[in-house]
Structure formats: structure tokens, C-alpha cells
Amino acid sequence: MCGISGVANCGSREVVASMNAVQAHRGPDDSGVWEHRSPDYGYVGLGSQRLAILDLSASGHMPMSNEDGSIWITYNGEIYNYRELRRELAAKGHRFISETDTEVVVHLYEEYGSECVRRLRGMFAFAICDLRSGAPELFLARDHFGIKPLYYFHQGSRLAFASEAKALLEVPGIPAELDWRSLQQYLTFLWVPEPGTLFRGIQKLAAGHFARFRKGELKITQYWDLSFPAADSVFPRSENDLAEEIRERFRDSVKSQMVSDVPIGAFLSAGLDSSSIVAMMRESTHLAVRTYTVTFPPEYRVGENALDDPSVPAEFARQLGCENYRITVQPDVVNLLPKLIWHMDEPVADPAIITAYLVCSEAREHVTVLLSGVGGDELFAGYRKYAAHYWAQMYQKIPSSLREWVGSSLAATPSLRGSALKGPLRLAKKMARSASLPPMDRFIMNGTYLNKEQKASLFTQEARRELQGLDPAVNHRAAFEHVGEADFLNQMLYLDSKIFMTSLNLNYNDKMSMASSLEVRVPFLDVDLAEFVAWNVPPDMKLKGVLRPDTKHILRKAMKNTLPRKILKQPKAGFAAPVDYWLACDMREMVDDLLSESRVRERGLFSPEVVRKYVQEQRVGKQDWSMQIWQFLTLELWMQTFLDRRRTHSTREIFTRQAASA
């Protein structure tokens, strides 16, 4: 696991070294720069920061080449089938000097070219410089689901790329400027859907894509996508048969992802996904498995959608003979948040980044690799929003006049802060505002935090002019259309796996783990497992029932004889954080400072009066605007860190100052 960087027809060795330094947290074990100059074709530089996982010796130094130095790679990731690929390549005459998966990728590309990505089982983002044809050619690739990030900037004949966007800001001529379309999306969803970013001109190479760059021309190609059968397809296999095969495939995925030359552990929330991973880990090794459980002080938990009882995962860990470390989260949010926004690169207004960072930071004291349950909900239909689609269909049968009364009554109901009813009320309000819409619009609406009218009143007149005609859900609509023949549940799963999971969950898991120099692996996102579930499991075996549906039904069935009943019946809980409590208590002064009328007016994006209205209604409990206020805070800190200070300081200098004050 590493941080990668590179430039073509711009920059220098010093620039690449600076890009490395900004990403040093991603790979503190080794650093390297390779460069190539040619009179006809300009300059290419590759950089690497290495976190040693496989073959801890100096043989794993990157950038790395093949035997004759005609192919060079900088690589971030883990290839779980690298041993099988290595044997195949050795039989074809390739020679190896290390035990790394990196070297396998070099020779696989040498043998198969761009087709190499179809042979890789794992997570990866890498860049290869191919010198065999005279003119240097760059080959960039990102894994099937986008587990590992790859940012790039392309302008004319110039190309720069890196694992983190802030490294690109070290390249002369790459501006730190706001992208208006992405701002519209950020304020709608809390984050920016890939491949865009909030930096104008900086993009992400999309999941399942590779790119070729030769003589100044960049060509991007999709090599893989998740697909689903048509809605009227027949699924011949029985539930018991499917459950058994899913269990075996899942065990194989977990076992393959335990390959490591450093200590390895797992998140354990006592939810279905993480518990399933730990159980499969325990079946795959005779060694004790280290597990990490997050909990909050009692005053943080009331009304939040989180598992409240840390004794459940502790008891499960004891039953399996695993070690369990309980991490009680009570952070200094005011000082921690600016640091994490620097690590995130792009503003992601989900307070779960704090929880993720703290558990990774604590776990790094004992392990270098953690297994995570990310992807289980998108694969097996675990979120309540999928059930909400069917609830809305029943709700639409109620007379419209009654629905209007229910909606207006819910909208006027106070937030019920400090009450166990706060979470259900929040869900009811969200459903009521979207339940009368067509299915696609309803699902998109359920994932938004500021609607069209609210944004219109929030933005200044100048900002409204810039945003006029921009549809924030354009990526979502394209995803729905792409699988329009599939059952609607599978359409929802596709959209979330392509947009929500990649842009939010995988994004912050990568950034927050790498902030602590820790690698996170995701066994549910094994490509073979995902394709099998998509094409063989009917929708009603993923989400079974309507009124009180059994989410992830087939996975529960697969794990029935492995997990305790208490865990199989646990309700869904996100990687939550008590943002409402923080804003009302710990962060009150920070809100008043960063969202003061004078500061908001000077920034020129939002109406100070509207922002103050959100803050005041939140404080008195009239409405729960906690996520919206968190959006404003995150955006302001991001602009201060990357847009304002870039004028006088490098991104590395900014972080050094923040770290010293944290």
C-alpha cells in the first residue's frame, strides 16, 4: 500500500519529490523517484511512498522496473492472486527478484499490455511508463470498484497524477480553484460524485477504467462494470444452494485478503458484515485475530443510529477466541477536524471520517492491515433506503390530501434532540418529502440534504448565476439509465456501488486509514463474489419482505450456522458520529467563528442570513440541520486550507502547521 505520483511534460525531479512528501503518510517505509528525459518526447517522472506489506526488504523499492528497465511502475494496492500470476509468468520466462505483488504487475503488463487489468484480483491504482516503442507511453489503471484513488490533471500535452489531489497542487501551473458544478453536487449529497472533484481541472480516473497517455494525448477506456440480469429473468437455484456457495466464495475472499507479511486485524461492530468477516478470518488461521470496536460515551449515543452496546462485539470476539480492543471515541473535534479535512483532499461532509480516523489511528498501534465490511450493503441490499422504496409504494396509495397533511405535520415537528425518537423522526421526514415522486427521483431525493429551493435561497445572486442549469444528479440519472432493464432493487444497488460507495465510503476509508499509515481491505468487493451475487441471487433473496423486510437475507442465511442469533438479528447501524451533539456543545464557538455573518458575506457564496437561520434553528431544536451545518463548516475549512492558503504556502507547509497545533 503506497502513495503514487507522477508527471509528464511538466515538473521535475524536485516536483515529484515534493508530491511524494505531501503523501508521506501513505508510505512511511520508503520513498523513491524515477525520471526519464528524451529530446523528442519531453519529461516523465514517477514517485512512490511505500507502506511495506509484502516483502519488507529493500527489494520492494519503488518505482520498480522489469529486467531491462524498459517498463517502470509506481503502484498502490494489493493483488490477492499475485502468487498464481507469478507462477504463470515464471513459466513464460519472466524473472523476479522480489516477493512483491508490484513486480508481478510489471511483468503481467509486459506480457499482456492493457489486458493485464482483467487478470488482477484485488485493489489497485498504478502508473506504468513503457519505453519499448521509443516515445514514452504512460498506462494508468484503477481497480474494478475504485477502492484505491487515482487523481489526475490533464491540460494540453501536460499530465500529472497522484493518490491524493493535494499532491497535484505541488505541480507548477495546476491551480487550486473551485469547480462550480461540483459545488452544486457537494451541497446536494455531502460529497462530489466521481469522477469530479471540487478542484477545477482535477479529476479521478473512474473505477474500472484505465488510461493511456502518449505524445500528449490521453485516452480513457472502461475495462469492467458491474451488470445485472433483466427484471424478468428466472433464477433457478434454491435459497439453500445459493447460501452455501456464497458462504464458500466469501470465505475464499476473506482468506485471500489475509495475505500479509505484517500484523493484520479487523473492524468489529457486531453488525452482520464485520462479524461475518471476523468469523471467516478465524476459520482461516490458527492465530488470534485482533478486532477493533468503536463506541461513544452515553451522552453521545441518544437518538443516533449506532449500535449502543459494545459488549455484543466483545462477547462475540471472546466466543471466537479473538482479541477485542474497545475504542471509546471522545475526540477534540475542534482541533481534529481541520487536520482530517487536509487528509481528505476534497470536502466530504460525513462526520464518520472522524470515527474512521480514530479507530485506524488506534489500531495502527498493533496492526498495519485491517479488514472492513464496506461493500456488504451495496452487494446484498443492507440500507433502509432500499426498503423505503417499497414503503413509498404503499404510502402512495393513501389519498394525496392526507399525504400532504402528514408531510407538513412532520416538517413542522421539532428535531426531538436527546430522544430515542430522533432517528425514526429523521427517517420519516426524509421519506415524506420524497414518497410521492417517481421511483428514480425518489431514490435520488432520499440521498440529498439540500433541495433545489433550499439551495436557491442559500446561494448569493452571483453564485446562482454560475450554477444556473447545472443538474447535480446527472451522474445518478446516467447510472439508473445504464441498468434500466434490471429490477429496480438492482438498479438502486448499481447506483450505490458506482457512486455512493466509491465517492463516499471507499473514499474516506482510504484517506482516513492512510492518514495513519494503515491499509484497509474490503473482502465483500471481490469481483468474482460481486458478479456471482449480481447474476444469481434474485432481488427477493437480498431484501425479503416489505413492511419489516429482512435486509441482506441471503447473507444472513449463508452465515446462519456461523454467527450467533443476536448478531444475525442486529439492526443496521452506520459508522455514525454524534454530529448533532458536537454542534450543540463542543463545536459551538467554532460554528460561530467559521459561519459568522461577516465571514460568510466575505466568502460570497451564501446568504449570511440563511446560514444563520440554519444555525439558530439547529440550536433551539426547531429543526435538525446538523448535516447541513456540518457541510458549511467542512466547506469553509476546505477553502481555507486549499484555496486561501495556497496563495502563500505549499500544501505540505499547511499540514505541518496544523499537525503542530493539533
Integer Cα distance of 136 and 134 in angstroms: 6
Half-sphere exposure of residue 271, counting CA atoms within 13 Å on the CB side? 27
* 234 Cβ contact list (under 8 Å, min separation 6): none
Integer Cα distance of 70 and 102 in angstroms: 16
Residue 276: enclosing H or E segment and its boundaries?
helix 272-284
Half-sphere exposure of residue 470, counting CA atoms within 13 Å on the CB side? 19
Amino acid at 553: H
The candidate with the shortest Cα–Cα distance to 659, out of 355, 508, 651, 166, is 651
Sign of the torsion formed by the C-alpha atoms of 529, 531, 536 and 541: positive
* 40 Cβ contact list (under 8 Å, min separation 6): 135
Amino acid at 120: L
Integer Cα distance of 474 and 456 in angstroms: 18
Integer Cα distance of 450 and 607 in angstroms: 15
Catalytic choice (2, 116, 129, 322): 2
Beta-bridge partner residues of 98: none
Residue 114 cell numbers, joined:
492493457
Task: Read off φ and ψ for residue 202, nearest 5 degrees.
Answer: -100, 125
Amino acid at 215: K
CA–centroid distance for 187 within its chain: 18
Integer Cα distance of 408 and 402 in angstroms: 10
Amino acid at 343: H
Integer Cα distance of 549 and 572 in angstroms: 12
What does each C-alpha distance from 424 to 151, 270, 629 come to in angstroms?
38, 21, 21
What does each C-alpha distance from 511 to 130, 343, 440 come to in angstroms?
29, 6, 31
Residue 489 near residue 549, CB atoms below 8 Å: no
Is 322 annotated in the active site?
no
Residues 109-133 as b/e (b if ≥16 CB within 10 A, e otherwise) read: bbbeeeebbebbbbbbbbbbbbbee
Residue 530 near residue 358, CB atoms below 8 Å: no
Number of H helices, E strands in the chain: 31, 17
Taking 3-state DSSP, the helix, strand and coil percentages for the chain, each rounded to the nearest 5, stand at: 50, 15, 35
The candidate with the shortest Cα–Cα distance to 539, out of 486, 583, 587, is 486
Residue 449 near residue 630, CB atoms below 8 Å: no
Label each residue of 496-514 as H, E or C. HHHHHHHHHHHHHHHHHHH
Dihedral, CA of residue 488, residue 445, residue 151 and residue 137, to nearest 10: 40
Q: Hey, which residues are catalytic here?
A: 2
